[in-house]
Copies of this chain bind each other. A is one copy, B any other.
């Protein structure tokens, strides 16, 4: 039953199905058919809307990254002090929406994807730069010249907790991870 304006709906469904499928399977070895079926359409339609598998993956990545970016911006908006800004970033990283098994798994897989695809790498680079600059921006007023390395330490720790949870060993525990990173921040500020 073809209606008008289906494109954004279909694209959205496909993106979500892609993340869910990659998250569930735990690898990029998902077929377009699987994704399309999960999104409730034929694989041909998926190709029609995205042009190819790579584009689908990229769109899914953009979605996750955008989602995360939005969350960060939202939390940042209410933060008045540098310290609050830093906590906002850490908080956004482990918010329920992002620190979800499927999303974590997809995230890990996109890191792998970035090793092969230039566009994926570019996407991830942008995310990393933004995270870094956000952290530095919050750290500078507090620790000045040490902002750069400490930002790297925080970023590494965040990624580290993501990858550790990607193994599904334990149910993702956002608050605990958040506490660890915040503690690291506190130690650095106190030091």
Does B164 lie within 8 Å of A115, measured CB to CB? no
> Of the 9-residue stretches A12-20, A35-43, A84-92, A151-159, which lies at the interface with chain B?
A151-159
Tell which of B116, B128, B159, B167 touches A25, judged by Cβ atoms closer than 8 Å. Answer: B116
A contacts, CB < 8 Å to B = 25-29, 105, 108-109, 111-116, 121, 124-125, 128, 149, 152-153, 155-161, 163-164, 166-169, 177, 180, 183-184, 187-188, 190-191
B27 and A115 form a contact (CB under 8 A): yes
Q: Which of B28, B108, B109, B160 contacts A156 (CB 8 A)?
A: B160
B163 and A111: CB pair below 8 A?
A: yes
B167-A125 in contact (CB<8A): yes
Most buried by B among A160, A167, A180, A184: A160
